[in-house]
Structure 1
Amino acid sequence: MRLLLACLLLWSTTLHAAVTVRFASLHYPPYAGASLPEEGAMVALLREALAPLGYRVDVEYMPWTRALATQHDTRYAGILALWPRSAGEMVEHAFVPVFVSRVGYFARKPGAAPALTQLSSKRLGVVRGYRYPPVLLASGATLDWASDDLASLKKLAAGRLDYAVLEKAVGTDLLRQALPQQQTSLYWQEPSVVELPLGVGLYADRPGATLLQRRLEQALKTMRTDGRYLALTQRHGVDAYVPPPTAAKAR
C-alpha cells in the first residue's frame, strides 16, 4: 500500500512539474528588464499566460548580437520583445505579436505630429543603431544622432532638437523614471509615424515549439476576453495589440 501511494505521489509530481522555457531578451523598458516591476510588460504577460499551462518562463538579458546567437543554443526557446523585421533575422522562427510599438515624436509643446513634408527644416533626435522607418530617414530633416533614447530626450529638453523620435511607451517610461521633472514639459505628439507589432520570436525547430506557440496564442485570446490583457497593458503603460479580424469563411 505504501509503495502504491509513493508511486502515485511520484506520478502526480511528474505530471504537474513545470516545463521551463528560457528566452533571451534585451534590457528594454518598459517591456523587459531584470530590475523592472514584474520584469516588464512582456515578461509579466508571458508568465501570466503560460503558468496555468504548466510552463515556467525564465529570461536572460543580453545584447542583441548575443541574443541572436541563441538560435544555435537549444536551451533557448526564443527571443523577447521584437519587431517582425528583427525576428526575421532568426532562422526557422515563428512570431507571436503581443503589444504594439508606436514610433513617433516627442516635442516641447503639446500638439499634433508634423507631416513628413514639414520636417525638411527640423532637427530630429535619433539613436545610433536603431532601425527607423525609411520614410522618416528620407524626410529631409537634419538627424541628430544620440547614444540612447534618454540622451535624445535630454537634448530635446535643452532645446537642441525640434523633435525626439521614440516609441511612445519607451519615452513615457523614461520621463516617468529618469526625467520626472520633464513630464510636464515634453509631450508625445499624435498620431504616431508608424505602428509595429512587438512580440515573441519562437525558434520553430525546438522540441515542443509548435505546441508552445499554439498555447501562447490561445492564452492571449483568453486574456483579451477576460480583461486581464487590458489590465496588464494599463499597469505597465504599453499599447495593446489588436489582432486583425478573421477573414470570413467563403460560402
Structure 2
Amino acid sequence: MVGWLACSAQAQAPPKLIRLSTLEWPPYTGALLPQHGLSTRVTSVVAKAAGYRLVTASFEWSTTLEKGEKDPNFDGYFPEYNSKEREQACHQSQPIGTSVLGVASLRGAPIEWNALADLSSYRLGVVEGYSNGEEFDQRVKDKRQPVELAPSDAVNVNKLRSGRIKGIVIDKNVLDYTLSLLGGADRIAFSTRPIAELSLHVCFKRTPAGLAMRDAFDAALKTTDRAKLEADYARLIRK
C-alpha cells in the first residue's frame, strides 16, 4: 500500500518548470497573441515533451537579458539569435525557429543595395539592444554604418510610415505582422536581399542546472516536428 501511494503521488507530481524571460516581439512572442506567439508555442511544446511546463514573463529586451542571465527566478530567456557572444553567455538550445532580417523602406523611395557597404549612405533605424547579424553589428560598432536607435520595432515602423526615417532593419515576419495592425503595407517595401538569416534559440543560464535543462530540451526538440508546429501556427494566426 505504501509503495502504491508513493507511485501514485509520483505520477501526480506536477511537471518541473522552465521559467524564461521574453519580450513582446509579435508574431514570435506576445501576451495577446494566440498561444503567446510562435516561438512560445514551439518552446512550450518542446518543454512539455521534456517533462517541463513553460512559464514566461515579458519585459523590454535589455531587461529580458538581465533577468534571464542573472535573476534567480528565471532559468534563461528566449528567443535569441545565435552568436559567438551568446554562446559564451549561456547554454544555447538547438534552433527553435528562423528569422529573416532585411531593410524596409518606402516604396516611393526604395533603398536598393547589393552589399552591406552600400547601406552606409543611409541612417537606418534599429532597435536598441537587438543583434542584426554579426557583419552588420560589426559595421555599426566600427562606425561604418549610421543607425538611429528605437525602443521597439513598432516605433521604427511608425517612423518609416511617417517618413521620419528612410529605412529600418527588421525581421520580415515582424514587419508583416506590425503592418497588419498599423496599416500601410502597400507603401512599404522589404529588401529582396536579406541582411541575415538567423536561427532562434532558447538561452539557458550558464550553470550546471542550466546545462542539464538545455540538454533535456534539446533531446525533446529532436523528436518535435517544428515545421508542422510552424505551419499550424501560420494557419491559426491567419484566422
TM-score range, shorter chain: 0.7 to 0.9
Instruction: Name the amino acid aligned to 1:200.
Output: V
SS at the partner of 2:7? helix
Instruction: Name the amino acid aligned to 2:174.
Output: V
Give the equivalent residue in structure 2 for 1:14. 10
Q: CA deviation at 1:44?
A: 0.8
Residue 25, structure 1, aligned to residue 27, structure 2: no
Give the equivalent residue in structure 2 for 1:57. 54
* CA RMSD across the alignment: 3.2
Give the equivalent residue in structure 1 for 2:32. 35
Give the equivalent residue in structure 2 for 1:118. 118
Instruction: Name the amino acid aligned to 1:65.
Output: T
Q: CA deviation at 1:202?
A: 1.1
SS at the partner of 1:104? strand
Give the equivalent residue in structure 2 for 1:215. 216
* CA distance in structure 2 between the aligned counterparts of 1:30 and 1:210, rounded to whole angstroms: 28
Instruction: Name the amino acid aligned to 2:28.
Output: Y
Residue 194, structure 1, aligned to residue 222, structure 2: no
Q: Moved runs in structure 1, 4+ residues, more than 6 A?
A: none
Gaps of at least 5 residues in structure 2 are none
Q: CA deviation at 1:9?
A: 5.0
Q: CA deviation at 1:48?
A: 1.4
Q: Is the 8 A contact 2:205 2:211 kept in 1?
A: no
Q: Cα–Cα, structure 1 residues 220 and 57, in superposed 2: closer, same or farther, change >3 Å? A: same
Once the two structures are aligned, what percentage of the paired residues are identical?
24
- Answer 1 or 2: which has greater helix percent: 2
Q: CA deviation at 1:105?
A: 0.8
Could you report, residue by residue, the CA deviation over 1:22-75 in whole angstroms, capped at 9, with x for unpaired residues? 112222222222222211112111111222442111112233336424544444
Q: TM-score, normalised by structure 1?
A: 0.74
Residue 109, structure 1, aligned to residue 116, structure 2: no
Residue 170, structure 1, aligned to residue 167, structure 2: no
* CA distance in structure 2 between the aligned counterparts of 1:145 and 1:51, rounded to whole angstroms: 37
| Superposition map of 1:56-205 within 5 A | 56-63=53-60, 64-65=62-63, 67-85=65-83, 87-88=86-87, 90=89, 93-96=90-93, 97-109=95-107, 114-115=113-114, 116-132=116-132, 133-134=136-137, 137=140, 143-177=147-181, 179=182, 181-205=183-207
How many residue pairs get aligned? The number is: 227
* CA distance in structure 2 between the aligned counterparts of 1:53 and 1:68, rounded to whole angstroms: 25
SS at the partner of 1:76? coil
